Chains A and B, each alone.
Chain A
């Protein structure tokens, strides 16, 4: 029997537009092309902008992790202007990022992930749910489905904390270079504390038990959707006056061995992406080429030391010793919930450390450097912004997002990225289960296509 070509499109319940093309032979997925099908061109948009515009403009890359784009752009500007950051500003910055992590993880689990495992009520927006593999008994199912409603308020409360200090969400305003513009008053701190306690209670009462229940009932997914086990993180939650102390460490994890990330060893490959190097352009200039025949996605292929690496909560939890597990679909889901619990607890500590007072912001006026690269981890993995600046105007702006790492298309040598690797080798027992199984594997990466293609 010759391989059967399958289209899985659109892949719903994620940020942005994704299609996957697969080849299946004797029930096994033998090839997968993940195709991110939207492009806006933020690296071109950033050019000629005053470099300080980056804190607000790059947030527009993504609605679900906007604060992290704002954060990394702020770190970048802190380097360019050589700012000193107050401790209070660092707490506020991490509180805002933490709030957005809580928002993202809670919404991912309940709005995007839950309908992969739980039969939802047969009404909009849940019509035509494919329930060939919904395994919970009636009572567990009813209870889990009802938690969708609880998650609505927990997600909103997470963004309320972000808005209290950041003015609005998505696309917060006050986490900018030099610190934070908001005054952390006792009133705001108390309000945020009340909110974070509610969220932490939600995480303990609902998210953790629900994760455990799903992991138990679908324990076969600890063997499905495995990746080669190469993880990379840029670290998370910066402290120190020069953003130089990292609460959760950065690193490269391979065969159980942790080593440092050297930014100089990161490369992007465009052989299967809709970009080309025009002969008349400078050697490192690329332009969109939507009709390039050998390409199948707007996502470039990113590598460290010539290999693909997976990023996200699983990478962070493994690297920091918070989780010991494998590289499967369910490991990714469990690690994300675990991270949610850890961050909800950190948030409360940080709010207690935060001192009520004046806005902790000191922006220096003059550029010290004209080139910088800044990194952090975002919810779904490593995020990098890099800029070349002339007279405070952006000449070149590079962005490498987490979903570029996880949803890398094949490189020149046809090596697969993490998501494609996870899909290949999957057993599909019957055609009705195709979208169900593939959807679960894909969503465990929490893909964000708006970010990946920017």
Chain B
């Protein structure tokens, strides 16, 4: 907006009561602020059907810490968890951002999208005109976003929210969008995987993705390949119970079929990971988690097949779009 227009707007509304002036000026100022921080990623974060574990995981980010991510990497405009705005103010902020920054914002979806009964099992907000379902808003914003990131296994592939018998018909984000979705899976995500993906988008654009559209940087190799207990496996030296120091394959470890860098990246300032505390990897980054990992403490060859679960109909994530 030009300076003259702005002054005119102020004059026109200066005598109006009921905060009309501020309601006209604020969106303009907001747009200015957003336009002038365009070297950061503009992020809209939608929470859908999930446990909120991925936003908690995000708060656990170290180097950069959460505040550094907010200051130096992203402008988090809408987030059910973090935003100060509430109620209709929050929805207005969402509308404004989508309208003004079409094709220029990053959509982060945390959670699966219920599809049964037109998505009524997840309503992100209610308005005078009725409920806004996750299905509706993910579809609409997914089309308008520059990048779409599915954070966590629910958003990536359906995850626990779509586990059998999946009474809500929940699916991963890529199943409801005709475009490319970057899947940053994990239950929850390791904050490094997510913040690292954001950093890559910011500095170099889209990262190289694996066959399930996950950044190869973090999901390029199996847990098994880098496991500190690999030598036990090679010698067929298996743990007899949880708490033992040998290979956890006998205790249900899904490491051989799970792609992630947990063994060397580890969790929460890199202090530990499940095998280090003498328990099996349960394959939480996998497309068929949790059904394909259950029973969790039963060795891989005897685990239940994922056929007959909510995941069996799921095809590979769609590839498409040119973003």
A-to-B contact residues, CB < 8 Å: 7-17, 19, 21, 35, 37-41, 44-45, 47-50, 52-53, 56-57, 60-64, 66, 103, 107, 111-112, 115, 120, 122-130, 148-149, 152-153, 155-156, 159-160, 162-171, 173-174, 176, 178-179, 181-183, 191, 287-288, 290-291, 358-359, 361, 363, 432, 434-435, 439, 448, 450
* B282 at the binding interface (Cβ < 8 Å): yes
Whether A168 and B89, one on each chain, are in contact in the complex, defined by CB atoms closer than 8 angstroms, is: no
> Besides A17-B124, A41-B166, 5 other CB < 8 A contacts?
A44-B167, A60-B160, A125-B83, A167-B275, A288-B168
Q: Count how many pairs of residues, one from A and one from B, have CB atoms less than 8 Å apart in the complex.
A: 294
* Bound: A25/B317 CA distance, A: 51
Whether B268 and A10, one on each chain, are in contact in the complex, defined by CB atoms closer than 8 angstroms, is: no
- Residues in B whose Cβ lies below 8 Å from that of A173: 274, 277, 279, 282
* Bound: A327/B157 CA distance, A: 43
Query: Which of B56, B90, B168 has a CB less than 8 Å from the CB of A40?
Result: B168
Whether A171 and B187, one on each chain, are in contact in the complex, defined by CB atoms closer than 8 angstroms, is: yes
Whether A39 and B67, one on each chain, are in contact in the complex, defined by CB atoms closer than 8 angstroms, is: no
* Bound: A148/B71 CA distance, A: 13
Residue of A148, A173, A287, A435 with most partner-chain B CB within 10 A = A173
Whether B122 and A124, one on each chain, are in contact in the complex, defined by CB atoms closer than 8 angstroms, is: no
Whether B273 and A168, one on each chain, are in contact in the complex, defined by CB atoms closer than 8 angstroms, is: yes
Query: Which of A124, A169, A179 has a CB less than 8 Å from the CB of B75?
Result: A124
Whether B296 and A56, one on each chain, are in contact in the complex, defined by CB atoms closer than 8 angstroms, is: yes
Separation in Å of the A141 CB from the closest CB of chain B?
Answer: 13
* Bound: A391/B3 CA distance, A: 75
Per-residue interface assignment for chain B, residues 28 to 65, with 1 indicating a CB less than 8 Å from any chain A CB and 0 otherwise = 00100100000000000001111111111101111001
* B209 at the binding interface (Cβ < 8 Å): no
* B77 at the binding interface (Cβ < 8 Å): yes
Separation in Å of the A172 CB from the closest CB of chain B?
Answer: 8
Separation in Å of the A71 CB from the closest CB of chain B?
Answer: 15
* B294 at the binding interface (Cβ < 8 Å): yes
- Residues in A whose Cβ lies below 8 Å from that of B26: 128
* B298 at the binding interface (Cβ < 8 Å): yes
Separation in Å of the B308 CB from the closest CB of chain A?
Answer: 10
Whether A170 and B83, one on each chain, are in contact in the complex, defined by CB atoms closer than 8 angstroms, is: no
Given the known inter-chain contacts A11-B86, A160-B268, A432-B19, please indicate yes or no for A107 contacting B59, CB distance below 8 A. yes
Separation in Å of the A449 CB from the closest CB of chain B?
Answer: 9
Q: Which residue of B lies closest to A179 (CB)?
A: B243
Chain B residues bordering chain A, tally (CB within 8 A): 89
Residues of B165-190 contacting chain A, CB below 8 A: 165-168, 170, 187-188
Whether B49 and A40, one on each chain, are in contact in the complex, defined by CB atoms closer than 8 angstroms, is: yes
Whether B167 and A38, one on each chain, are in contact in the complex, defined by CB atoms closer than 8 angstroms, is: no
Given the known inter-chain contacts A10-B125, A125-B76, please indicate yes or no for A170 contacting B277, CB distance below 8 A. no
Query: Which of B50, B82, B167 has a CB less than 8 Å from the CB of A125?
Result: B82
Given the known inter-chain contacts A60-B187, A152-B59, please indicate yes or no for A129 contacting B85, CB distance below 8 A. yes
Whether A63 and B272, one on each chain, are in contact in the complex, defined by CB atoms closer than 8 angstroms, is: no
Whether A57 and B278, one on each chain, are in contact in the complex, defined by CB atoms closer than 8 angstroms, is: no
Whether B268 and A12, one on each chain, are in contact in the complex, defined by CB atoms closer than 8 angstroms, is: no
Residues of B79-106 contacting chain A, CB below 8 A: 79-93
Query: Which of A13, A37, A156 has a CB less than 8 Å from the CB of B269?
Result: A156
Per-residue interface assignment for chain B, residues 93 to 133, with 1 indicating a CB less than 8 Å from any chain A CB and 0 otherwise = 10000000000000000000010010011111111100100
- Residues in B whose Cβ lies below 8 Å from that of A64: 52-53, 56
* Bound: A155/B65 CA distance, A: 11
- Residues in B whose Cβ lies below 8 Å from that of A124: 70, 74-77
Residue of A156, A435, A448 with most partner-chain B CB within 10 A = A156
Q: Which residue of B lies closest to A66 (CB)?
A: B53
Residues of B256-307 contacting chain A, CB below 8 A: 267-269, 271-279, 282, 284, 290, 294-298
- Residues in A whose Cβ lies below 8 Å from that of B57: 63, 169-170
* Bound: A164/B74 CA distance, A: 30
* B21 at the binding interface (Cβ < 8 Å): no
Given the known inter-chain contacts A156-B268, A167-B274, A181-B279, please indicate yes or no for A39 contacting B168, CB distance below 8 A. yes
